[in-house]
Amino acid sequence: MVRVCEKITAKGNIQVLPGLELTHVDPVDIALLVSEARKLGAQIVIVHGETLTEPVEPGTNLAAIQSGADILAHPGLITEEEGRLAASQGVFLEITTRRGHSLCNGHVASVARKCSARLVLNNDAHAPGDFVGQQMAANIARGAGLAEEEITVMFNNSQKLIQRARA
């Protein structure tokens, strides 16, 4: 994946970072796998959180935050305690445009606001049609109850995350 990303990026049309999403991993193994992924060259490490629609082991959200992953994706009914920990650990919480996973966007936005956790918006794209574009992404964020300035901050967080990944 690292080599493929380098080759695509070298063509000059798009910059592609190697990364992965750990899904259906026993929570006790998450920290080790995050560390292994980074050693293998993953620049963005995501953990599939406790979404309502494709559930994983309880404890996954907490283990993901403690592991120092970059993004806890679709964390479902994340607790405020986990939100505070994500804030202090610098783990981004995801607002998602993906059908099903997006059911808890409003809750995630609310917890993030209360806990000063940082958000990013992801497409969770499995196919080209899943890329919704900037305008729809902003509307989905509005639907989650985010204010305009919070949406701007969230989009800027993605830029910061990319810079951190490349550093």
* Size of the residue set binding Zn ion (CB under 5 A): 2
Nearest to 23 by CA among 48, 51, 55: 48
Identify whether the C-beta of residue 71 lies closer than 8 Å to the C-beta of residue 46: yes
Quick check: 48 binds Zn ion (CB under 5 A)? yes
Identify whether the C-beta of residue 144 lies closer than 8 Å to the C-beta of residue 108: yes
Interface with Zn ion in residues 69-108 (CB under 5 A)? 73
In the complex, the smallest distance separating the C-beta of residue 57 from Zn ion, rounded to whole angstroms, is: 14
Nearest to 21 by CA among 12, 4, 34: 34
In the complex, the smallest distance separating the C-beta of residue 74 from Zn ion, rounded to whole angstroms, is: 6
In the complex, the smallest distance separating the C-beta of residue 70 from Zn ion, rounded to whole angstroms, is: 14
- Which residues contact residue 5 at a Cβ distance below 8 angstroms, ignoring those fewer than 6 apart? 16, 17, 18
Q: Which is nearer to Zn ion, 48 or 118 (CB)?
A: 48
Please give the residue whose beta carbon sits closest to Zn ion in the complex.
48
Q: Applying CB under 5 A, which residues contact Zn ion?
A: 48, 73
